[in-house]
Amino acid sequence: MPSAELFQEVDARLSEIKQLFTQLASESPSAVPTEGARSRGLDHIDLARMMLWARTLLESEVATDLFADPAFNILLTLYVSRHDGQDVSTSAACTASGVPTTTALRWINALTRRGMVRKRSLPTDRRFTYLELTDDTRAALERYFDLILDRGLKQLAP
């Protein structure tokens, strides 16, 4: 795929993700459940870990080349890593993306330009860049997780 087409595809998919996060951010607090799912022992981090596992399973068991979603893989990895107190280097995020490094770097740069991910260098060694979610993106992911957990609990309710 020529790089111009790939950039357009990356940009279009990021626009869709940002639109979803913007929609979630505009939800009124009463529309976003928070305590119901957590009171039953389910939480955001468990769901994020399960989503990462499910994505890996889908790619390994069904078709690697059909289900690549590097932006979502990166966002989930950054979310889980923050919870675990681990820094995520740019190269680790590239690996987590599930796509070639050059493609992953385009996704990382696009996420950064859109204000969803922030780059941070070490003051002692600027050769290493670490990535982290912005507060708005973290909050949008948590609302997204709440909506999934709430819907799942409604489906399981007798």
pLDDT averaged over every residue in the chain: 80
- Residue 77: its pLDDT value, please? 96
Q: What is the Cα–Cα distance from 152 to 107, expressed in whole angstroms?
A: 30
**Tens-place pLDDT, residues 35-78:** 444 445 678 999 999 999 988 888 788 876 777 889 999 999 99
pLDDT at 18 over 80: no
What residues have CB less than 8 Å from 132, skipping those under 6 apart?
A: 78, 82, 88, 117, 118, 120
The predicted structure's pLDDT at residue 150: 83
Q: Are residues 122 and 128 in contact, defined by beta-carbon separation less than 8 angstroms?
A: yes
Confidence of residue 122 (pLDDT cuts 50, 70, 90): confident
Query: Of all residues in the chain, what percent carry a pLDDT higher than 70?
Result: 70
Residue 33: the pLDDT is 44
Per-residue b/e over 104-131, b at no fewer than 16 CB within 10 Å? bbbbbebbeebebbeeeeeeeeeeeebb
The lowest-confidence range among 17-21, 68-72, 120-124 is: 17-21
Q: Which helix (H) or strand (E) holds 31?
A: none
Q: What are φ and ψ of residue 47, in 5° steps? A: -65, -45
